[in-house]
A = this chain, B = another copy of it.
Amino acid sequence: MTVDVPKELPMVKLEYVVAELERVKAKKVLVQAPQGLKGVALQLSEELSRRGFDVMISGGPCWGGCDLALNEAAAVSADAIVHLGHTKFVKQSTIPTIYLECRYEHNVDVEQLVMKSVHLLRPAKKIGLGMTLQWLNLLERVKQTLENHGFSVLYGQHENGRLYPSQVIGCDYTTIKSVESKVEKFLIVGSFFHGLGLSMITDRCVVVADPETMHVEDMTQITRKVLMQRYAQICAFRNSRRVGVILCTKPGQKREGLAASIVSALRKAGKDAYVLVLNEVDERFLPDEVFDAYVNTACPRISIDDHAKFKKPILLPSELMVALNLSSWEELIYSYEYFRWCMRND
């Protein structure tokens, strides 16, 4: 029986991890990785075990840099967490955490990827370029190739330096939203997921080019459809009486103050509201028989991408403001405000 585990660790700077673990005097280590990097996590665990560390692997989901396995690590008294595949998100972790970025090193046919994007980008000439972490090594090559095809390419810095220039994550597009006024279209090198995220908060056309599948797509139509679905949920929400306000315990998604303000706003609007504390927002366990609707203060992408799984409306805080007539739908769509509430931690 053979299984798919990389023979080498090209994506991981092993000596850096070892040095960091030694620096924080860790002996017992929990390795955490998103689903697609579990093979790398296993290989890394073997390497670390060989070097004398006592290693365990996190077996739960891992949705982003916000989703640190602090509880698992604490439960087994791990001295440190090695978190693979995401940029540092949680500033202060109760357990020393090494965010270990992984970059795809294998060959990508950048020329072909850009060629496929070109007909979707034209007739625009000024392009905002965003990338996800694993493809950042391609940044200069993609930029250069676009320029060779006659485009001018822009991207910005992150306002607080949390992300690399041009880097986007599921809930944060500020590096390229900042150049919006200077570009006609955006190109995201990454997945459909990241293309949709940006497309929700900009009125510019977003094209996504995925180096893994070599698939290229204009996000305009799908975004309109998603926004219509969101608006339908906002309308349905208005009929709700009993609302569960979701408060997630993941270190980068815990917004207790926000949840409390939302409960107040809902009660002021004449609704019954309760805080629902949970770790995973799992549609199978939400008490749909007692709640008419939810407001989600956890990851905003749960409402956007997974809404079809839920039996009841599950609004974002910004959408709630529309439902309660405290702001307007027209102002919300294609605006920075859509995910803003969920980018702060309190």
Contacts and interface: CB of A to CB of B under 8 A. Distances in A.
Interface string A2-40: 011100000000000000000000000010000100110
Nearest to A254: B75
> How many subunits of this chain does the assembly comprise?
2
Most B CB contacts (10 A, CB to CB) among A42, A58, A75, A239 go to: A75
A1 interface: yes
Contact of A274 (B56, B75, B244): B56
Contacts of A35: 285, 287
A281 B59 CA distance: 8
B279 A60 contact: yes
A309 B1 CA distance: 21
Interface string A265-290: 00000000011111111101111011
Interface string A224-267: 00000000000000011110101101000010100000000000
Given A71-B249, A75-B249, A1 B241 contact: yes
A168 interface: no
Interface in A34-87: 35, 38-39, 41-42, 45, 55-61, 69, 71-73, 75-76
A192 interface: no
A56 B241 contact: no
Interface in A153-200: none
Given A58-B278, A59-B278, A5 B290 contact: yes
Q: Which 6 A-B pairs have the closest CB atoms?
A: A59-B276, A38-B287, A59-B278, A75-B249, A56-B275, A60-B278
Interface of A: 1, 3-5, 30, 35, 38-39, 41-42, 45, 55-61, 69, 71-73, 75-76, 239-242, 244, 246-247, 249, 254, 256, 274-282, 284-287, 289-292
Given A5-B242, A59-B278, 9 more contacts: A35-B287, A45-B274, A55-B274, A59-B277, A59-B287, A60-B285, A73-B277, A76-B249, A280-B280
